[in-house]
Structure 1
């Protein structure tokens, strides 16, 4: 494993504060040196790594997430997650259960979305393995992961990518506990706070989405982030 865990967070220009708070929560809890990169579609286009036509995807990182192992460019473990995540524990803990025989690890959600419309008036779709790809622990040394080249990502269908059809053997898809990608609003609140809260339907950064579960935790993290920015400017 590399000395520094690389984490790529999907960046959407409409939700920059979500990315900033996600990053802050990752750094605040990390027990080791981690490298966090925003996955920006415009930058990937400028580099010639993402060439698909513009589409109506819910987020700007809908498909660019599958470039994560290529961008990481090493044989260790790498994480991708959506920007609407809040970490309440040390992300390094997820590596404790990582078996190098697996190609990836995900939380294997099996649910039907409760809401027909998402936070920003986007239609909420339902499909097999929905939200599996919102948190992926990639084993970059695995040949199936190495096959996620820009050529493949730019040409295969969204369904092929999001449903992990590029991994023909389901046994190679490791399973993480639900608490590593807890879908707020889709599951009942557990007694213990999840390791990773995913505001998949919308979060408190939207004015009409203030009363979601764990909104107080996200707002508290945002306050810490903004305080750190103020301190840097003052310094």
Structure 2
């Protein structure tokens, strides 16, 4: 039976345009049906109870780790930040699921030099930076991520995957193909069908913010074109 691919996306009210363009890009490129769920905090009352802290750059910094709970700790699910754009088929990523692992992600070696990122938010440095911005959860193996744990664990415990037995539980996804970090990794605007990135990520600030209008060069122009297509008015 063909089941929709469950995709959870972090929601931040400052990036409503970004999440809508991302959703449209996922749908337009996918060869399989998708079940897309924005993780919006006011829809998680009684489940997510953390107070926002100073170095939290988005509303979904910690709520992302509720995906296994929201999935009933069954099957697999994808989480991604909202500041991304799909350029290829998300079914290709879905096909990489490996039962040996509890979670799979692109294992970036990202040690930011800047002290601030978009809208003046603090840029933090820590091991496994950006690993959690795109995750394939094997939900049955993530039962440690209860609402109580997600509400009480430190940011480093969550983002450094301390809730797993050890790092052998983390599977790697192809570098450059998925979760390509714009203005962090070497530029690559090749089409996804020609080996370019299938999912790009404006982790430092994207073209939906005026001051980052040209971030990513050709990819910024591609995002703007995707937005125009998604919101085009028809006669």
TM-score by length of 1: 0.91
Offset from partner CA, 1:25-68 (integer Å, 9 cap, x none): 11111111111111111221x2x000112322110000000001
**Where does residue 24 of structure 1 map in the other structure?**
24
Kept in 2, the 8 Å contact 1:114–1:186? The answer is: no
**Where does residue 210 of structure 1 map in the other structure?**
213
> After alignment, is 2-11 or 175-184 more displaced?
2-11
Kept in 2, the 8 Å contact 1:2–1:76? The answer is: no
> 2:47 aligned with 1:49, yes or no?
yes
2: CA distance between counterparts of 1:104 and 1:2?
23
Kept in 2, the 8 Å contact 1:109–1:132? The answer is: yes
1:166 alignment partner, SS class: coil
2: CA distance between counterparts of 1:39 and 1:147?
19
**Where does residue 181 of structure 1 map in the other structure?**
179
Runs of 4+ with >4 A deviation: none
**Where does residue 33 of structure 1 map in the other structure?**
33
- 1:24-173 matches, cutoff 5 A: 24-44=24-44, 46=45, 48-56=46-54, 57-73=56-72, 75-142=74-141, 145-173=142-170
Gaps of 5+ in 1: none
Q: How far 1:141 sits from its partner (Å)? A: 2.5
1:208 alignment partner, SS class: helix
Kept in 1, the 8 Å contact 2:68–2:140? The answer is: no
> 2:194 aligned with 1:197, yes or no?
no
Aligned length: 226
**Where does residue 222 of structure 1 map in the other structure?**
227
Given the superposition, is the C-alpha separation of residues 185 and 65 from structure 1 closer, same or farther in structure 2, using an over 3 Å criterion? same
1: CA distance between counterparts of 2:59 and 2:67?
14
> After alignment, is 203-212 or 65-74 more displaced?
65-74
Q: How far 1:76 sits from its partner (Å)? A: 1.7
> After alignment, is 112-121 or 193-202 more displaced?
112-121
2: CA distance between counterparts of 1:134 and 1:60?
13
> After alignment, is 123-132 or 59-68 more displaced?
123-132
Q: How far 1:74 sits from its partner (Å)? A: 5.5
1: CA distance between counterparts of 2:146 and 2:33?
27
2: CA distance between counterparts of 1:36 and 1:146?
22
2: CA distance between counterparts of 1:5 and 1:125?
32
How big is the alpha-carbon RMSD for the aligned residues of Structure 1 and Structure 2?
A: 1.6
Gaps of 5+ in 2: none
